[in-house]
Structure 1
């Protein structure tokens, strides 16, 4: 084992120490009465509020990544199934939280659909009513590849993060098309995205480097979903490395997204071991800044945002498609589910980049099961 490989192994061990109290925090977010997981401790204090779709689905993702899915008590599994089934609108087929503002944000609506159907499938269950793609026509802008590209051209990319996320909303419709038609839409999207990619950085849209990395991460879903090669991967890597070295990561998304991009497309790169060690070291330092006394992680460096569908915007930054906030916490310095699921993803992708088999955090995970079993 080389010096760099030894250093990487030591860094991965150091990263594990950040999760010492994480599973105690996670168990404390579960609400047996609703079958859902709360976003943060302060969420319990919001009057007439029950857990939300995203936080509950993210908790299930954490449990799966932690090797705990098969250890959940059967009554708990049924409670969670019922939680998601009650969220489905029998008329539209979509899954909604109680806050009516969620329905006004297309990105949140599509996430709610994906999170809910995926969670029910993971639990061996299914929605109670037909899903939107089974009962509703596709949007008018997807009539032809040309109308699709025209719609993409109108997307505001002055904030890469939000704009690229918005450009990905048609992906689920395209995936449902017949193969011949789907190929035409994929080719049209691929050509358009290539035409607007910055050849110097490999990024799309505008904003600071972390915002552009986050936008590129969002847009990369098109490439992974449709198995299309991501262009200019080498330039993306070089710009990510510069950003990690020079810029402040003040959001867990900004810590996760570059690692996720490298983990997803790293197979087409040759990352020097000394640079990988540096990347992991910087990542650990950034994660430590967001680790909280309750054992969880905050989304943002100064707080857990009260409405995670709205990014905290610094003066001088632009954020298009700003939805009306959907509050699910009180904005305290505390752990939140969004940051927690991203922290574990970071751990997994760092292992992948290092060529080390990813294993759940036993025996720390035992704490979760022991706490949950006390409910039953």
Structure 2
């Protein structure tokens, strides 16, 4: 790529000044987990949570900082995730009982916890919900699965596609011969409801539909299935970047992740334009505390309903699960996406080897808790 792209990406790296110090400040030695935001740790109403802790670990791993964590810190992280597993169901739950009512949060917590434990060289203490008796009822027969797929509303593409993808972990745990009829139902249904002109799924603003499409792409990638109508998706994506206001970090990250996952040959001038737009949008969400906010005006207090903007409604809307106060502050959800954007842009430009310059002092003062 040209020197112009290198200069753009070097400028983007300056947006991470103070970020890793902010990340370090989210760690809680007593629980072994990470808080969602500064306002989370400053209020007694909130605790460290599964998603934020897994996201923090993901940032640490992606940025090559694992060696800075002591064995005691790693052991406390293992205990944090293991303590969240319900021995009766195999699922992982946060303290807020409302979290159990949101199937997307429950599915994400399962994937995050199992993945984090694997990264840390550990395993769950109890069997996972991988058999037919513990998995959702729709996994018991392809016909039931097809009926469930069609019951999911796509009035908000982002949330609806997120719910559809929530079935992927259950399918992946099935033996291949049992999985195939379920997979055929899913892929056939998805292709039948894809917009032939835009390549997108569901309803909503362009960024909402692109975000929904990105969610579905994770399903396709999980089962090595080709994504249909990629040229149409690319045109829709470019149009949104050029004409829509990105008021949410997901509106900045999802198009970039969608682009790289589609593995298209992108003209160099498009890569330059995409990188400039993306980093300009990201800069608007950088906060004085060193982190990033999910939304342009503030950090959403309950990220599980942040996909739905004020005044919108769709069936099966989840109950809010607050993780912070929603102040103008950095939050872990936005922080992990900012790091993904950075590394994805470098991949898009063929500059994967460029690492962030992170001060040696970061994580050097972390101490493990005493709850053993």
Range into which the TM-score falls when normalised by the shorter chain: over 0.9
Task: Tell me how far apart the structure 2 counterparts of residues 245 and 358 of structure 1 sit (CA, whole Å).
Answer: 29
Q: CA–CA distance in 2 between the matches of 1:246 and 1:183?
A: 40
Aligned counterpart, 1:215: 212
Structure 2 residue corresponding to 1:361, chosen from 356, 368, 372? 356
Query: Please, what is the CA RMSD of the aligned residues?
Result: 1.8
Q: Which runs of 5+ in 2 are unaligned?
A: none
Distance 1:175 1:236 in 2: 26
**Partner of residue 41 from structure 2, selected from 41, 44, 55:** 44
Distance 2:182 2:307 in 1: 34
Written as runs of structure 1 = structure 2, the 5 A alignment for 1:315-354 is 315-354=310-349
Counterpart Cα distance in 1 of 2:176 and 2:7: 47
- SS of residue matched to 1:228: coil
Q: After TM superposition, which residue ranges in structure 1, 4 or more long, deviate above 3 angstroms?
A: 134-138, 312-320, 373-376
C-alpha distance in 2 between matches for 1:230 and 1:158 = 21
Per-residue deviation at 1:358? 3.9
Aligned to 1:14: 11
TM-score by length of structure 1 reads 0.94
Give the conservation status (yes or no) of the 8 Å contact 2:59–2:336.
Answer: yes
1:130 counterpart residue number: 127
Could you tell me how far 1:263 is from its partner in structure 2?
A: 1.2
SS in 2 for 1:323: coil
2:197 equivalent to 1:200: yes
1:372 is aligned, of 362, 366, 371, to 366
- Aligned partners of 2:194 and 2:101: how far apart in 1? 29
**1:225-236 correspondence to structure 2 within 5 Å:** 225-236=222-233
Q: Does the 8 Å CA contact 1:287/1:343 hold for their aligned counterparts?
A: yes
What is the deviation of 1:130? 1.4
1:141–1:255: structure 2 CA closer, same or farther, 3 Å change rule?
A: same
Unpaired runs of at least 5, structure 1: none
Q: Report deviation, 1:330.
A: 0.4
Q: What does residue 120 of structure 1 align with?
A: 117
Return closer, same or farther for 1:135/1:146 CA change in 2, 3 Å cut-off: closer
Q: Distance in 2 between matches of 1:138 and 1:128?
A: 18
Please tell me whether the aligned partners of residues 348 and 358 of structure 1 are also in contact (alpha carbons under 8 angstroms).
Answer: no
1:98 lines up with 2:95 in the alignment: yes
